[in-house]
Amino acid sequence: MSKNLVELLNINKAFFGVIALDKVSFDLIPGEVHALVGENGAGKSTLMKILTGIYQRDSGEIVVNGEPKEFPHVRESMKAGISMIHQELNLVNHLTVAQNIFIGREAEFSSRFFQNDNKINQKAKEICEEIGIDIDPEIEVSELTVAKQQMVEIAKALSTDSEIIIMDEPTASLTNEEIRDLFTVIKRLKKQNKGIIYISHKLEELFQIADRVSVMRDGNMVDTFPIEEADEDMIIRKMVGREIKIKPPTFDESKFGKVALEVINLNSGDMVKEVSFSIRYGEIVGFAGLVGAGRSETMKVIFGADHKDSGEIRIDGNPVTINNPYDAVNNSIAYLSEDRKSEGIITTLPIFENISLPKLQDFLKLSFLLNEQKEIKNAEEMIKLLDVRTPSSAQLLQYLSGGNQQKVVIAKWLSSNSKILIFDEPTRGIDVGAKDQIYDLMEELADQGNAIIVVSSEMQEIIRLSNRVFVMAEGRITGELSSKNISQEKIMSLAVNRAS
């Protein structure tokens, strides 16, 4: 009997002739958290999709509990005790939380003639309570925030009683509190001798939760080592194959232009209360706060995606009427929302078409003929700038890794011609090296005279980018910090400040 829960041996996989995995080996022992890290496109998700039967390997061996296995379908891997929390949320929006948790397994709860909703709801409630999440199992998934939807994904995976649990970036959109809850659950699973494969771009998490770390690069397994032997710099070096120097931020207020956007006493429902602030051309302003503080809601109202109860928005000193996103775009405002699914990316279209979607008129040559050459050229520049891993700009978006799809979304907004750019959680799911490239680009956009607002729950990101930071709590701005006096502690104390 092998002591390994899982052994992957020399796994090879190519997509349309492009090698995604090159003789990759990996193992998992009972009671451990084995972290899997690597840049966007390194092959992490692909390896896990092979283990769960979503993709089929070209060659190599899968051994589970000492037995060689074939998983022609996800059902088979589930039967063998493997479950996976996917990077892209896989929930069905119009079903309830409970229906999503037990999707495909409704039969377990049905009598001969009807499905027993009470039983499903009860069981879902138990699971949610067990992992410490506060969600009503009877509401539709579409009504939940992205963070809550992710928790439902986790509940779904844990409900199957698997021995092997794969988590592909489970914390990407969770709050710190929710992450702590998840880690408590993971520790409990470890005690039950289950094995957990944990994929994350947040390297600091590894030191809290991982026992071993494996690093992938360009489809190869670079190294596997116990966490005690690692530090963050070493992991990054192995991931990117070079040193990364995080540039210190520079702020030169003399370069800022006149006030671009001024928001005066904005109110909308419970989440946006008397919000006032302004931003100058050339400036980057951060919005910090806990999830639910009203930051995204404020931005959505400014962008016309949510209803405004009262308040004024001025652009270049003039009051403007923004009733919908179309008005906002006409007033030169762009909003990259945290909910990437609403970004209007079309995964069945090539990369270059996705990048040019928001500003098709720029690519119009002679009446309505699209200038494909120009689109492709722009896309190729963006692909190079952001280091999007793809064979070509004609690749369909759906074939890119999760992080590379994100980069395309960012590229789309970076190439829009708006002068006031709002980025909501811009680097979620993006690897450490690419993050820095995106920061550089945002700074360049500011240097070119654009006004940039960044909403982020990563404090280091806010501190790195912002000339000024507004902190929100319970729908109100509770404080403003300038780059000279920003610190994590100050942000935190304003973020938990109960506004009255």
Residues lying near Mg ion in the complex (CB under 5 A) are found at 45, 87, 401-402
53 binds, among Mg ion, ligand ATP, none (CB under 5 to 8 A by kind): none
Q: For ligand ATP, which is the closer residue by CB, 10 or 483? A: 10
Q: What does the binding site for ligand ATP look like in residue numbers (CB under 6 A)?
A: 15, 20, 38, 40-46, 87, 389, 399-404
Q: Which residues contact 378 (CB under 8 A, 6 or more apart)?
A: 352, 355, 356, 363, 415
Least CB distance to ligand ATP at residue 12 (A): 13
* Partner from Mg ion, ligand ATP, none binding residue 416, C-beta < 5-8 Å depending on class: none
Please, are residues 450 and 281 in contact by the beta-carbon 8 Å criterion? yes
Query: Phi first, then psi: what are they for 144, rounded to 5°?
Result: -90, 155
Q: Which does residue 78 touch among ligand ATP, Mg ion, none (CB within 5 to 8 A, set by kind)? A: none
Strands of the 420-424 sheet, one edge to the other: 333-336, 420-424, 451-455, 284-289, 468-473, 476-482
Closest residue to ligand ATP using C-beta atoms? 403
Nearest approach, Cβ of residue 384 and Mg ion (Å): 21
Where do we find the tokens 């001969």? 112
CB of 42 to ligand ATP, least distance (A): 4
Give the chain's end-to-end CA distance (angstroms, integer): 63
Nearer to ligand ATP, 195 or 403 (CB): 403
Cβ-proximal residue to Mg ion, closest one = 45
Find the shortest distance in angstroms from Cβ 392 to ligand ATP: 11
**Please, which residue, 47 or 185, has the CB nearer to ligand ATP?**
47
Rounded Cα gap, residues 311 and 261, in angstroms? 13
Work out how close the CB of 476 gets to ligand ATP at its nearest, in angstroms, rounded to a whole number.
36
Read out DSSP for 410-463? HHHHHTS--SEEEEESTTTT--HHHHHHHHHHHHHHHHTT-EEEEE-S-HHHHH
Residue 30 to residue 65: CA distance in whole angstroms: 10
**141, interface contact from Mg ion, ligand ATP, none, CB < 5-8 Å by kind:** none
Nearer to Mg ion, 45 or 100 (CB): 45
Task: Tell me whether residue 336 or residue 491 sits nearer to ligand ATP (CB atom).
Answer: 336
Q: Please, what is the minimum distance in Å from the beta carbon of residue 166 to Mg ion?
A: 11
CA pair distance 47, 24, nearest whole angstrom: 8
Q: Which does 41 bind (CB under 5 to 8 A by kind): Mg ion, ligand ATP, none?
A: ligand ATP
| Token reading at 175 | 């709050």
